[in-house]
Structure 1
Amino acid sequence: MYTTGTAFLEALQEAGVKYIFANLGSDHPSIIESLARAKQENKELPTVITCPHEFVALSAAHGYAQATGEPQAVLVHVECGTQNLGGAIHNAFKSRVPVLVFAGASPYTQEGELTGSRNEFIHWIQDVYDQRGIMRGYSKYDNEIRTGANVKQLVYRALQIAKSDPAGPVYLMGPREAMEQETEPVTIQKELWEPIAPAAIPPKHIEELAKDLLSAKKPVVVTSYLGRKKEAVAELVHLSDQLAIPVIESVPHHMNFPADHPMHCGSYWNDPKQNQVLAEADFVLVLDSDVPWIQMKNKPSKDATVYYIDIDPLKETKPLWYIPSKRFFKADAYTALQQLNGYLKDAELDKDLVSERWNDYSSYHERQKEVRTKMEQAEVEGITPEYLTACVRELMDENTVVLNEGITNYGVISNHIEASEPGSYFGSGAGSLGWNGGAAIGMKLADPDKTIISLTGDGSFLFSVPSTVHWMAKRYNTPFLTVIYNNQGWKAPKHSTLGVHPDGVANQFQDFYVHFDPPADLSGVAAAAGEAHAITVKDRSKLKEALEEGLKQVKEGRSAVIDVYIPHVYIDEEVSNIIEKETV
């Protein structure tokens, strides 16, 4: 039998999908039978990765796509499995990661009229009016497979849309009867379904942009995810070298600019203070950043000239968003930088001004590094996030990929980890916690030779469904090192409350309902589920040894989880104040 389900799987294989992250259900008999038949016939199809939880399945596909740019498939069970994707679909959509999600649907016949007709209790319970509507606010495209005659065309169209900028998830669903339908094979010309070409800046505006940039005394670049294309990093470095332009990263979720470059001027997260480089800038070039600054806390001068270049400059899916700019360009950053660097190649530069800028900002870069070193070496009781990140940094080499889901320690990690290789650092790029575990599996599948180190808060570790993550890591031989920044609570809601009510009752009584006391044995969860090497560290003197042992275990093929106790959510501000005083 050659069914719609067979053609669907063939389409994924032909389109270059390597993995299907699957949580199968009663709606997938045609898929399961087609997979079994293919195995019997030695027919090549995407590898199925069994995922006991849908959130982890999509997070793994998310991580794979971040590492490679190539979308993978996620199979879930009707509307229940679709809803169980939860925050993972938010993450994929908001961070513009391509992935194809397929769900079955309850059969639409109940008396055996067609193959696949209803024969289980659950088929009535899981029948809903608008299953596709569940995903509509979080996907670029959704459709229903109704026949095998054009299923390949639908798959290719969905993947074309998923990969075209701004990239993102797409959703297909198919009832059992449609997926069981016998059909005829169809041949698709793959080259006719490529994603749209990258957009460029209109040529007439390149001259205007270049002239404004050249006339600026203190220009600055702000970026968050330019490094999603590794080749864009080299173009930004070239621009910065040529004109001595400093680069600031706002909540970076890629390695956008080498941390060891003299023009790298740090990154910020939710920092409640004004960044001086940004404040003094008379020209700001924003390249690929959803939130380049938070206006209540940190913004450029009102006299600064702002240019905004992004694959999604209007942020049409964000109801409230605006940044006044002289020009907005819907363009691929790599393409735009090639255009700008090409124009500047023959431009007449003020060499004295460029030299003066280079000296000023390279000195600023060195001062920042000195401050970070003092913070890492601050003499306080216990293990600070700064010291912990410095110890992790010592483990890294050119083959290491670091994931950052430290949340309230996001800024500490992004500044102190000092990533300098394109493709060596990632964040989720969105707001639903728990991405770290599945993403580590996806990135390890994408490049098995890489060493994956996941840095996560205790809250985001729990959100990641660690029991599923570490079962999968063991079964599919994707070992990675997890380091938990365990402050025994949720610090973010505390910060949010103090930001609105700094002198409120919650602060007076220090009661924010965010602590995790008594703390759980977090590394023990990973050990029980996937036989991970589990270590809990509370003593500063034992930290480096524990991290080295964890990395050794990973290199030998076993995941490791190092649960590191940092200052408790209720005393962390005191420790931060001590570090700040010592630094000053």
Structure 2
Amino acid sequence: MNAAIKNTRRTMTAGEAMIESAMANGVDTLFGIPGAQIYPLFDGIHKQGLNLIVPRHEQSAAYMAMGYAKSTGKTGTFTVVPGPGILNTTAALCTAMGNCSPVVGLTGQVPSSFLGRGRGHLHELKDQAGTLKSIIKDAFSIQQAKDTAAVMNQAYQTARSGRPGPVTVEMCWDTMATESEFESLTLSPVDDALPEINPDALKSATEMIAGARRPMIMCGAGALHASEEVTALAELLNAPVTAFRSGRGVVAEDHPLGLSAVAARQLWDDCDLLIGIGSRLEMPYLRWGNYMTYERKPSSGPKLIRIDIDPEQMSIFEPDVGIVGDSAQACRILHDLLLDKMSPDESRLDEIARAKALARAALQGVQPQMAYLDVIRQVLPRDGFYVPELSQMGFTSWVGGLPVLKPRTYVEGGYQGTLGYGFPTALGVKVANPDKAVVSVSGDGGFMFGVQELMTAAEFNIGLVSIVVNNRSYGNVRRDQQMGFGSRFSGSELKTPDFVKLAESFGVRSHRVKSPQTLKPVLEKCIELNQPCLIEIQSERGLESSPWPFIHPQGRLAVE
């Protein structure tokens, strides 16, 4: 994919050079808010005609870039001013780090003579790059204009290689504004070679899999690009495939082997081998185990094989066999090594089908969330995107309330549990996928974190359908206070605006519904319009059933 190097030279600012370098790395859309230290960068955006989405809060710029990245696998890019501007994005940056999204943030710095002086220049931080490095994958500084292309290429490679994650690039105010003569800024050659997989690890894994009677596969974000290979391996073994958040849809949940977390829990006690693919394995060892005590390696349960491109994962949570490498490549090799050693156990299909049916029936007790999620799944196309939030509907969707049928179509925030990420992230998903249906479902509390982005949706005609469940509370906090603190509600009950009137004031089509039956035709119409729409679901405070018994189950479901 490396472009040919041309021998042309042009005079431009280093800010313009940053934009040309980003474009050489495949950037076609940028989310950002201009400011004094990055004016040359925005001038470069204008000159290049790059697609620019301007949100109303810096945090949203980074969330949008994350949504763009998570839904496509490409690198999302945002730009904001340094100091308080880049600090405003850190909630999104730590979320992108947690859910393995390749994101690059471009920012400025104080003038070079002030760097590290503590003089109190505009937006000065004591150590901006150092602060960011404590949160994200890496933070780069371009010291001299001539190094722009090399540093930018390194930043983009870092974001997308290995375990993907967010990085930032900063440049001093005066350096960015200085005009220099640059060679044509094409993509420099970079090393995108996959790590070599240890043959001894492959041999040990092959022997362990061949000897297993009831293996299970669990996927995370590191398997999103490996759907074909994971499916082939699963079908060879007749092994059920599950996931908690990011890995959902790697094997479609309507495939005979694809199943939700609740269904997987039914099979867990009899599982003699777990194959974790690009996953931290939070669900079986924390959610189904001890959430409050760290274990470096499993103290109980089945044998464990982990496939992960990040070698550090093998010491953070130690498996019986660790395969460090790309998940698609590793699964393909394992499949070929096992082809003559395995024959699928057909009886497992019935066992898996029973678990799926039992889980589905049990989840129907989580109301009214399941009734609404069933309607959304009926209306949302197979390749449509669903973006949950930290909400009662979101928690219910985690464990199977909304079946996921394709990789990347369930865009979740990961372990950071960042309230308010859903709506702005979904805007980025829709910008990246303008011809696909995208539905965001938020509670009223989380939605208010980014409500100002209704204006962004209207201005740029981002055809996201935003569903807001208005129960006038932080519903999960309120339930916890009800159950654990004698109904002493402290800060959990909210006064909310009229969301329909609010959306209309931004120029966004809006509707109010009170039941799943009335939601269906409205949602169908909104998706068909492909314009910014908001649907408010009115709900009574405290009405929702708790999904948490399915997220932290005490054991198998009771069979009546």
Report the TM-score, using the length of structure 1 for normalisation. Answer: 0.83
Residue 142 (structure 2) aligns with: 145
Q: Give the letter for the 2:401 counterpart.
A: H
* CA contact 2:464–2:531 (8 Å) conserved in 1: yes
Post-superposition Cα deviations, 1:47-77, rounded to whole Å, max 9, x if no partner, equal 2222221111111111111122221321111
Cα separation, 1, equivalents of 2:96 and 2:252: 25
> Aligned residue for 2:495?
518
Deviation at 1:281, TM superposition (A): 0.9
**C-alpha distance in structure 2 between counterparts of 1:34 and 1:2, whole Å:** 9
**Cα contact 2:394–2:441 (8 A) shared by 1:** no
Aligned mates of 2:394, 2:175 — CA distance in 1: 46
The amino acid that maps onto 2:447 is F
Cα gap change, 1:179 to 1:28, in 2 (>3 Å): same
- 3-state SS of the aligned residue for 1:264? coil
Q: Letter of the 1:426 partner, please give it.
A: V
Give 1:154's aligned residue: 151
1:344 partnered with 2:334: no
Q: Could you give the per-residue CA deviations for residues 86-131 of structure 1, whole angstroms, max 9, x where no partner exists?
A: 3111111111211211111222459xxxxxxxxxxx9734223212
Which of 446, 450, 471 is matched with 2:436 structurally? 450
Q: CA deviation at 1:32?
A: 3.8
Secondary structure of the 2:388 match is strand
Match for 2:203 among 181, 202, 207?
207
Q: CA deviation at 1:313?
A: 5.2
Take 1:344 and 1:582, find their aligned partners in 2: how far apart are those partners? 36
Provide the alpha-carbon RMSD of the alignment.
Answer: 3.2
Match of 1:527 in 2: 504
Could you tell which deviates more after superposition, 430-439 or 444-453? 430-439
Match in the other structure for 2:278: 288
Query: Relative to 1, partners in 2 of residues 1:11 and 1:311: Cα closer, same or farther, differing over 3 Å?
Result: same
Residue 460 (str. 1) matches residue 446 (str. 2): yes
Residues 297 and 33 of structure 1, relative CA distance in 2, 3 Å threshold: closer
**Counterpart-to-counterpart distance in 2, 1:284 and 1:418:** 22
Of 347, 356, 360 in structure 2, the residue corresponding to residue 365 of structure 1 is 356
Q: Tell me, which stretches of 5 or more residues in structure 1 are unaligned?
A: 39-43, 111-121, 377-382
Matching residue of 1:439: 425
Q: Which of these residues, 368, 377, 383, is aligned with residue 393 of structure 1?
A: 377
Alignment of 1:472-487 (within 5 A): 472-487=456-471
Q: Is 2:33 the partner of 1:47?
A: no
Question: Which SS does the other structure have where 2:180 is aligned?
Answer: coil
Percent of residue pairs bearing the same amino acid type:
20
Give the secondary-structure state (helix, strand or coil) at the position aligned to 1:248.
strand
CA–CA separation in structure 2 for the residues paired with 1:93 and 1:222: 20
Residue matched to 2:77: 73
CA separation of 1:97/1:284 partners in 2, compared to 1, >3 Å: closer, same or farther? Answer: same
SS in 1 for 2:197: coil
Shift of 1:183: 0.9
Tell me how far 1:453 sits from its aligned partner.
0.8
TM-score, normalized by length of structure 2? 0.86
| SS at 1:28 equivalent | helix
Distance (whole Å) between structure 1 residues aligned to residue 503 and residue 311 of structure 2:
41
Code of the aligned partner of 1:204: D
Deviation of the 1:82 alpha carbon: 0.8
Deviations 1:118-156 (A, max 9, x none): xxxx97342232122231112222222232211111111
Structure 2 CA distance for partners of 1:213 and 1:219, relative to 1, 3 Å = same
Q: Which amino acid aligns with 1:74?
A: F
In 2, are the aligned partners of 1:536 and 1:564 still within 8 Å (CA)? yes
Query: Within 2, Cα distance between the matches of 1:6 and 1:574?
Result: 50
Paired position in structure 1 for 2:347: 356
Q: Which runs of 5+ in 2 are unaligned?
A: 1-10, 290-297, 551-556
> How far off is 1:393 after superposition?
1.2
Is 2:527 the counterpart of 1:536?
Answer: no
- Report what 1:276 is aligned to: 266
2:327 corresponding residue in structure 1: 333
In the superposition, relative to structure 1, how do residues 549 and 410 fare at CA in structure 2: closer, same or farther (>3 Å)? closer
**TM-aligned CA deviation for residue 79 of structure 1:** 0.4
Contact kept, 8 Å, 1:22 with 1:50, in 2: the verdict is: yes
| Kept in 2: contact 1:401–1:453 (CA 8 A) | yes
Please tell me the residue identity of whatever aligns with 2:337.
Y
Structure 1 residues 312 and 179, CA, compared in 2 at 3 Å: closer, same or farther? same
CA distance in 1, matches of 2:303, 2:481: 34
Once the two structures are overlaid, the 10-residue window that deviates more, 93-102 or 431-440, is 431-440
Q: Deviations over 1:255-310 (max 9, x none)?
A: 222111222332259xxxx9331122111111122243364652488252111222
Report the AA paired with residue 417 of structure 2: G
Structure 2 counterpart of 1:55, which letter?
Q
* 8 Å contact from structure 1 (residues 279, 301) kept in 2: no
* Residues 71 and 523 (structure 1), Cα distance of their counterparts in 2 relative to 1, 3 Å cut: farther
Separation in 1 of the partners of 2:82 and 2:15? 15
Q: Which residue of 2 aligns with 1:15?
A: 25
Q: Quote how far apart the aligned CAs of 1:341 are.
A: 0.9
Length, aligned pairs only: 531
Distance change (3 Å), C-alpha of 1:575 and 1:293: closer
Q: Distance in 1 between matches of 2:518 and 2:479?
A: 33
**Of the candidates 401, 405, 413, which is equivalent to residue 397 of structure 2?**
413
Equivalent residue number for residue 380 of structure 1? none
Q: Secondary structure at the match of 2:86?
A: helix
Which amino acid is 2:280 matched to? Answer: D
d(CA) in 2 for partners of 1:203, 1:238: 21
The correspondence for 1:565, drawn from 523, 526, 538, is 538
| CA distance in structure 2 between the aligned counterparts of 1:357 and 1:565, rounded to whole angstroms | 43
Change beyond 3 A, Cα 1:394–1:141:
same
How far is 1:487 from its partner? 3.5
User: Aligned residue for 2:172?
Assistant: 175
Indicate how the Cα distance of structure 1 residues 486 and 341 shifts in structure 2: closer, same or farther if over 3 A, else same.
farther
Decide which of 79, 89, 93 is 2:93's aligned counterpart: 89
Q: Name the CA distance, whole Å, in 2 between partners of 1:248 and 1:159.
A: 31
- Give the structure 2 partner of residue 304 of structure 1: 302
Cα deviations by residue, 1:219-274 (Å, 9 ceiling, x for unpaired): 11122325521xx12222222222211122223454222111222332259xxxx9
Contact 2:17 2:185 in 1 (8 A): no
Partner of 1:126: 123
Give the one of 240, 245, 252 matched to 2:239: 245
